[in-house]
């Protein structure tokens, strides 16, 4: 079968011209072939990511899901025990409830405090005055420092007897607490340390604030709006998408708190009275201290479910207060 057919075309000059006209089937075949080649080229370009995802993410993810239903401890066979690991968390493991409480406590306080602190800092730094770039750099620096080094620094700062924090409190007549040695003050100490590194969020808010149209503030000035009214009715709605993004990512990150407690407590024990025994630290101890991988995998999947539920709730509630230029929810 020929892929094209000849067609006699009469032009205005009267001389017939023979032209080639490809059949629709042949054109479609050629188009599909080109599309297939483009798809193949695209898959080749992203193949390193696909291989990494399948081998380093999806594979271990499915393995941990399977292990959560077994009594696997690295050296033994994976014997299926059903939901026993999940039942054990809620009925037999007291440290599980303690670690979950400590983590939720940290999330409840750290997310709103760091978000509000970053917004306030961005508002203060969003002024065109001499030397402002210097202050922006100073406030952002803690966000790029190495985590472990920062933790050791704060262990010195929070020392009850020689730490700079208690020394400064003593200057104003306040007897500073024992911080990392007092179960009632260990989590507030971590919150204080977290507030010190809000520069990363500040940079996001500062960038979007500088993108807000000055005409909106000029119109508000003409109407006699106060600084608070301009902030509440103009600034907050315009930066609400970044607030929404920051709340979701901060919530996920706060549930994953681990390094602070592992480094700043003796042998990763979780501090005095298990006050810093966070969920991930307890999961780590089960996985790599007693090698109960099946139970640790079950804890990991429960945390995944909790985070997914909270993210879905935030996504649902975000439609009520997040302002987009195309309209709410767009």
Q: What are the tens digits of pLDDT across the range 305-320?
A: 999 999 999 999 988 8
pTM of the model: 0.83
Q: Which residues contact 235 (CB under 8 A, 6 or more apart)?
A: 123, 209, 212
Average pLDDT over residues 225-236: 91
Give me the pLDDT at residue 330, please. 47
Q: What DSSP element (H or E) covers 99?
A: helix 94-125
Alpha-carbon Rg for the chain, nearest whole angstrom, is 30
CA dist 188 and 208 (Å) reads 30
- Residue pair 83/93 in contact (Cβ under 8 Å)? The answer is no
Span 86-102, pLDDT tens digits: 999 999 999 999 999 99
User: Using 50, 70 and 90 to split pLDDT, how confident is the model at 32?
Assistant: low
Residue 70 DSSP code: B
Tokens of 67: 């292990």
Tokens of 71: 């009594």
Average pLDDT over residues 208-216: 89
Span 267-303, pLDDT tens digits: 888 889 999 999 999 999 999 998 999 999 999 999 9
Residues in the chain: 330
């Amino acid at each position: 079968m020929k892929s094209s057919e000849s067609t006699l075309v009469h032009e205005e000059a009267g001389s017939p011209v023979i032209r080639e006209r490809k059949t629709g089937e042949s054109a479609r075949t050629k188009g599909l072939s080109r599309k297939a080649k483009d798809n193949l080229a695209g898959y080749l370009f992203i193949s390193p990511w696909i291989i990494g995802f399948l081998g380093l993410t999806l594979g271990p993810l499915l393995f941990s899901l399977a292990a959560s239903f077994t009594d696997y401890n690295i050296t033994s066979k994976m014997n299926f025990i059903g939901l026993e690991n999940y039942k054990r968390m809620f009925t037999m493991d007291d440290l599980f409830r303690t670690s979950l409480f400590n983590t939720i406590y940290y999330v409840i306080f750290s997310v709103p405090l760091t978000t509000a602190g970053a917004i306030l800092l961005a508002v203060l730094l969003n002024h065109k005055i001499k030397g402002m770039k210097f202050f922006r750099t100073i406030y952002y620096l803690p966000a790029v420092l190495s985590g472990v080094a920062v933790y050791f620094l704060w262990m010195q700062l929070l020392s009850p007897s020689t730490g700079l924090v208690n020394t400064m409190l003593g200057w104003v007549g306040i007897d500073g607490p024992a911080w990392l040695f007092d179960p009632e003050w260990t989590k507030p100490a971590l919150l204080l340390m977290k507030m010190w590194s809000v520069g990363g969020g500040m940079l996001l808010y500062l960038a979007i604030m500088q993108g807000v149209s000055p005409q909106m503030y000029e119109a508000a000035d003409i109407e006699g709006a106060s600084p608070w009214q301009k902030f509440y009715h103009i600034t907050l709605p315009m930066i609400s998408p970044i607030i929404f993004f920051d709340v979701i990512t901060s919530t996920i990150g706060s549930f994953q708190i681990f390094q602070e407690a592992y480094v700043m407590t003796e042998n990763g024990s979780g501090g005095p009275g298990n006050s810093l025994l966070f969920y991930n630290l307890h999961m780590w101890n089960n996985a790599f201290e007693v090698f109960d991988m099946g139970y640790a995998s079950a804890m990991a999947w429960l945390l995944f479910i909790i985070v997914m539920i909270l993210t879905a709730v935030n996504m649902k509630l975000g439609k009520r207060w997040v302002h987009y230029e195309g309209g709410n929810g767009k």
